[in-house]
Amino acid sequence: MDDEEITPLWMRSIGFRICSVDADNQPHMVWQFDNRMETGIEVSRSIAQHERGGGTRWTCWLRSDIAHSRCRFCYIRTVERRREMLELIRGVSGTTPTESEVDAAQFAESWEREEADCKRRYAEYARGERWGRVPG
């Protein structure tokens, strides 16, 4: 089971939550180290998957929100398998996440809505209809 591909539903079941903002062109999720929500691992689907084909890969960053500006990130690595994600979390936080029940239908609805919102916000930034900058 640990060698299966990573899915958004599986990440939600081990404690990740949706955290997309501003001009993210696809949903981001974060796994917090503590309840203060200051540091964690943030992930998003990797663009590298299109270059090599195959399964979905996830880009992982170490995130620090100590200044409440959500702008401090450090790239860690790209992962594809659940085992890799679990090893990454254990290595960085010293904690082993446990799976819990998630309402799959409700999460799928939330994920679809988040994907649509990300695309809409990104398009608004690209057309200059929103304040901010488009990444890239």
How does pLDDT run across 78-95, given as a tens digit for each residue?
Answer: 999 999 999 999 998 898
Residue 133 lies in a domain: no
Residue 2 lies in a domain: no
Give me the pLDDT at residue 36, please.
67
Give me the pLDDT at residue 107, please.
93
Specify the length of the chain in residues: 136
Structural domain of residue 110, as residue ranges? 8-126
- Give the Cα separation of 70 and 32 in Å (integer): 13
Give me the pLDDT at residue 71, please.
65
Query: What token pair was written down for 78?
Result: 């790209």
Give me the pLDDT at residue 24, please.
79
From the list 43, 52, 24, the residue with the least C-alpha distance to 114 is: 24
What pTM, to 2 d.p., does this model score? Answer: 0.81
Domain count, the chain: 1
From the list 119, 116, 111, the residue with the least C-alpha distance to 23 is: 119
From the list 99, 91, 1, 3, the residue with the least C-alpha distance to 41 is: 91
Give me the pLDDT at residue 69, please.
62
Site of tokens 């299966």: 4
Residues contacting 45, CB < 8 A, separation 6+ = 26, 27, 56, 57, 58, 59
Give me the pLDDT at residue 54, please.
64
CB 78 within 8 Å of CB 48: yes
Residue 34 lies in a domain: yes
Residue 85 lies in a domain: yes
Residue 135 lies in a domain: no
- Give the Cα separation of 32 and 39 in Å (integer): 6
pLDDT beneath 50: ranges in the chain: none
